[in-house]
Amino acid sequence: MRGNSALAIVLGIIGVVCLVFAVIYFTLKTNLLPSGHPIRHTDRAVVLIIVAVVCLVGAYVARPRRLA
């Protein structure tokens, strides 16, 4: 079965972007979300890490494979 390289690239990019935002939410007091005051959004960071892992695993599964 051949993989879909476009899907793998898109999932990989989404996974990396989610990881970047998760690091931002873990480390900085952000005011990106309308929460009223700058706080750390650790629950959103955890969700972003889960989404990133799912996307990166999906990218690994969807990547084209070389035939031996």
Interval 6-59: pLDDT, tens: 899 999 999 999 999 999 888 887 666 565 666 667 888 899 999 999 999 999
Per-residue confidence (pLDDT) for residue 12, from 0 to 100: 94
pTM of the model: 0.78
pLDDT exceeds 80 at position 67:
no
Q: Which residue has the tokens 């084209």?
A: 64
Distance CA 59, CA 54 (A): 9
For 21, residues 6+ apart whose C-beta sits below 8 A from its C-beta are 45, 48
The alpha carbon of 47 is separated from its chain's Cα centroid by a whole number of angstroms, namely: 9
Distance CA 2, CA 39 (A): 45
